[in-house]
Chains A and B, each alone.
Chain A
Amino acid sequence: MTKGQTLFLKILAASLVGEKIPCKEITKDFWLCARKEETVSWQDLQKIAKEQALTALINDYMLTWELETMPESLQETLQRQALTSAMMYYQMVNFVFMILDIMKQEGIYGCILKGIGLSIYYPREEMRKTGDVDLYIPNLKEFETFCQIVKKHGFKQEKSITDHHISFSYILEGTKLELEVHKKPINSQTNISFNKAVEAIFEPFSKQGQTLFSYVEVMNAMVPVLPAEENAFYLLLHMLQHFLNGGMGFRLLCDWAVFLRREKISFQKLLFLIKQSKIEGFAYMMTGLCIAFLGLSKENVPWMEGHMPQMKEMEVFLKDMFDGGEFGEQDRSRMLIPMDTSSFRAYVKELHRQMCLRFHRAGKFPFLWPLLWLATGVIFIYNNKYLRNTSVKDIMKSAKKRGKLLESMSLFIDTKQKNS
């Protein structure tokens, strides 16, 4: 880790707890933009925070705790930025309230995934960046009805290559906002037994969602969310989904850390869900990172006893997070990650999954598959060259490297089987 990355993690941890930390690095020189090799500057910190979509959180911490040496002109700039972040958050809250009202009018049951339902776990909820609203409507019939209804309310359907949600946009007071209506919590993955396990865990919500949802208070109103254990499990799935695609950054890890710290969770139940879907290795890695770098107390996660990953393993994962930025956007060669880097079959399975996502209707007819595989391959090569400005070779290299990281977490492998 660089000195900038180390300081970033230190400040990030403090901002999640809402406390001042002693930082000898922050002197009057720190704020100067000139970069010196031996020291960390404000510029270094801002670059990392921007790549991780955590600027508001970091800058709010600095404004609250580090005013002694901060130049006044910078204080004014950061204050303006903080107010803008707060206004954007309030607009997003209004958008959620509006969506929940439509659902109530139509008698449709659903809950908010992450977003403002998670912001409340932060010391200052306005400072968690919320890009869109994710609404989960587990009953398929209600999901389809709602997707038709929102169009009548002025929502415009957007293109999306995924099988678990439909995207909409809406103009609220001159600002374009996005809504993703989910019928499933995450995208289908290449591992069928994992998909089935996840489906079985969320199945009860499609039948009796309205009685199972929990509620959190956001700006004086009650917002439906998943029950604590399923919510925690969903956060893991969401991180995993991004890790398996381009990569996951620190924003998602912060969500995990604050949720574990502030929510009352039955760990027995959570562990059962994690074991059912065979993602223990990933859960231990994510939680271990929160303990080691984001200030999560071991007392908050007693189930981690004896499962703390090795520091060396965590550092490899951290590097992947820093290199990729939020959702792996800093590295254009990232887009897939095979489950087994030594097998050609794993790459073919990934091609098939991508084909199913892109052509989800035509993909239901096996006789069309050869043609659709070819089309998916051509689109893949075209997009690499003209949209991502990278080569297939670089993507495969990155996939192999990240695949090895995945193998170290024994994902989707029965731990009993692995140990025997």
Chain B
Amino acid sequence: MEAMKRKEGYMLRRIGKSYMIVPVIGKTIHLKGIITMNETGAYLWELLEKEISKEELLEKMLLEYQIDRETAEADISEFLEKSGNMGILS
């Protein structure tokens, strides 16, 4: 199982009812690189602080939210695909 982790230099912020991942590189906040996400995305982001596999993410998500396995898998895949495209995971 391939483990993954979030890259350094990003801060998770809650704004109103949504969340933002704010890239702070050096001493500059990259406004154009800010990513907004919902509560589930923020939860996954927090889990990615340490190395974790997709399967572990799924298990934790099922424990945290009352959703079925299929929905959780779809949510995680979507999140990982988007995050991968943006280059914020290592």
Pair B16/A79 contact, Cβ less than 8 Å: yes
Docked CA distance A415–B32 (Å): 56
Which listed residue, B15, B20, B27, B31, touches A91 by the CB 8 Å rule? B31
How many A residues touch B, CB cutoff 8 Å?
26
Closest to A220 in B: B24
Docked CA distance A97–B28 (Å): 7
Chain B residues positioned under 8 Å from A173 (CB to CB): 31
Pair B11/A90 contact, Cβ less than 8 Å: no
Docked CA distance A91–B29 (Å): 8
Which listed residue, B16, B20, B36, touches A63 by the CB 8 Å rule? B16
Q: How far is the CB of B25 from chain A (nearest CB, A)?
A: 10
Q: Is B7 an interface residue (CB 8 A)?
A: no
Q: Which of B13, B15, B36 has the most CB of A within 10 A?
A: B15
Chain B residues positioned under 8 Å from A91 (CB to CB): 29, 31
What does the 1/0 interface line of B1-40 toward A look like (CB < 8 Å)? 0000000010101111110101010011101001010000
Closest to B20 in A: A86
Which listed residue, B16, B22, B31, touches A219 by the CB 8 Å rule? B22
Pair B22/A90 contact, Cβ less than 8 Å: yes
Docked CA distance A79–B19 (Å): 11
Pair A220/B17 contact, Cβ less than 8 Å: no
Pair A220/B11 contact, Cβ less than 8 Å: yes
Chain B residues positioned under 8 Å from A93 (CB to CB): 29
15 extra interface residue pairs, beta carbon distance < 8 Å, beyond A93-B29, A124-B14: A78-B16, A79-B18, A83-B18, A83-B36, A87-B34, A91-B29, A91-B31, A100-B27, A124-B13, A173-B31, A219-B22, A219-B24, A219-B29, A220-B9, A220-B11
B positions within 8 Å CB-CB of A: 9, 11, 13-18, 20, 22, 24, 27-29, 31, 34, 36
A positions within 8 Å CB-CB of B: 59-60, 63-64, 67, 75, 78-79, 82-83, 85-87, 90-91, 93-94, 97, 100-101, 124, 126, 173, 219-221
